[in-house]
A and B are shown apart, each in its own frame.
Chain A
């Protein structure tokens, strides 16, 4: 089945640690995105990538980093500089040049700082 896989589903981080969230897609989509979801705030864009080896900051990129070395992978690192990392993180992908250009989402990773 084609889709987006995020791992792990739950992640616990100690203060001061960096953690990396995995996102893999087998939909052959060019574009990939990371969103952060907090209660009552909807989804906010962290980073996005339109093509391999290229990515841009979204609205809340501070304290996060990404890489796009392969078309199917777009990992997100939550660094110690992110002061409030506890949230639900959603990865998405889309095919901007296609006829049906909606975004497809993974099942999310819930990150908790302990």
Chain B
């Protein structure tokens, strides 16, 4: 069965510190992986995606993620967090050709001064 696990429900990071959000997936075919961000009461915005090629992908707002097939992981990173990064982050997996995405339960990021 397809599934995505985000083990951290909440994470608090000091402003300026580095960030890593964890994502593990289970998928039978070649996975297409996504990170989305959601501000309260809003829709989802795509941060970055991985389809193939270089396993380190760059996204918007200074985020990057690394695909590790051997660990079935797609962790999101940012070297220096800004207060405006406080939001909920969702990892998702799908297949090319049809975007029936399976989402993780999300990680809420809190940024402390």
Residues of chain A whose beta carbon lies under 8 Å from any beta carbon of chain B: 4, 6, 31, 33, 35, 40-45, 48, 50, 58, 88, 90, 92, 94, 96-97, 101-108, 110
Contacts and interface: CB of A to CB of B under 8 A. Distances in A.
Interface stretch (B42-50, B66-74, B76-84): B42-50
B105 A94 contact: no
Contact of A90 (B32, B44, B49, B98): B44
Interface of B: 4, 9, 32, 34, 36, 41-46, 49, 51, 90, 92, 94, 96-101, 103-106
21 contacts: A31-B99, A33-B100, A35-B103, A40-B105, A42-B105, A43-B103, A45-B100, A48-B100, A58-B100, A88-B41, A96-B96, A96-B99, A97-B97, A101-B96, A101-B99, A102-B34, A102-B49, A104-B46, A105-B45, A106-B43, A107-B42
Contacts of A41: 105
Given A103-B101, A105-B43, A106-B43, 14 more contacts: A31-B99, A35-B103, A40-B106, A42-B90, A42-B106, A43-B44, A43-B101, A92-B99, A102-B46, A102-B49, A103-B99, A105-B36, A108-B41, A110-B41
A96 B98 contact: yes
A94 B90 CA distance: 18
Contact of A42 (B34, B46, B49, B104): B104
A47 to B, nearest CB: 11
Given A101-B32, A102-B34, A31 B98 contact: yes
A92 to B, nearest CB: 8
- The list of the 9 closest CB pairs from A to B, nearest first, reads A94-B99, A105-B43, A42-B105, A43-B103, A105-B44, A42-B103, A107-B43, A103-B99, A96-B98
A29 B22 CA distance: 31
B36 to A, nearest CB: 8
A83 B11 CA distance: 33
Contacts of B42: 107-108
Contacts of B46: 102-104
